[in-house]
A and B are shown apart, each in its own frame.
Chain A
Amino acid sequence: AQSVTQLDSQVPVFEEAPVELRCNYSSSVSVYLFWYVQYPNQGLQLLLKYLSGSTLVKGINGFEAEFNKSQTSFHLRKPSVHISDTAEYFCAVSEVDSNYQLIWGAGTKLIIKP
């Protein structure tokens, strides 16, 4: 993967509203795709991953993401957000036959408005 673009640096949304955080990558080969979440004052933790198989993957805390190969996207969604979802979300990609390295997006801060 050459690069990962998270199109929004911040996404404000009202509590209980749906949200989509966008992630696009550039690569012409098979990839693994990940979303990590960083809650305030904590390290990152894995939210969900796509390795192969179904393009719709479900993660923790009600989040899901869909891999779209033709669009080279892996957008993260949640149908109804809660104040506890306030965090920064990072998309990461690795080419299947590459070395060890994950390529990271710049992050998107999800801001929940009461």
Chain B
Amino acid sequence: DVKVTQSSRYLVKRTGEKVFLECVQDMDHENMFWYRQDPGLGLRLIYFSYDVKMKEKGDIPEGYSVSREKKERFSLILESASTNQTSMYLCASSRRDRPYYYEQYFGPGTRLTVT
């Protein structure tokens, strides 16, 4: 069974802390994504990676950075957490070739609360 796993289901951090969210996929997918999910707003893309060490900004990259040192692992970093980053964070992966690019496989999500 294919899988995308995320390091934590729930996380509580304080304002100003550096936060690491980890995502691992076992499907040998080239593409990996970080989304933020907020009620009524759907999914918003934070960052995307199409290869090791490669990244592209999505719609809302401000306040976030990413790291992809290995093909299977994609990390989201909040350099200095703020309360407006309280949200559900979803990681996804997909193949590189069209149209399979759009068939994204999601992890269960990390619900981050910043106090």
A interface residues with partner B (beta carbon < 8 Å)? 4, 9, 32, 34, 41-46, 49, 51, 90, 92, 94, 100-102, 104-107
Contact = CB atoms under 8 A, between A and B. Distances in A.
A100 B90 contact: no
B20 interface: no
Contacts of A43: 4, 90, 92, 106-109
B59 to A, nearest CB: 8
B16 interface: no
Given A51-B99, A100-B48, A46 B104 contact: yes
Q: Interface residue tally of chain B, by bracket?
A: 20 to 34
11 contacts: A9-B40, A43-B4, A43-B90, A44-B106, A51-B99, A94-B102, A101-B48, A101-B58, A102-B104, A104-B44, A106-B40
Contact of A44 (B40, B48, B90, B101): B90
B43 A90 contact: yes
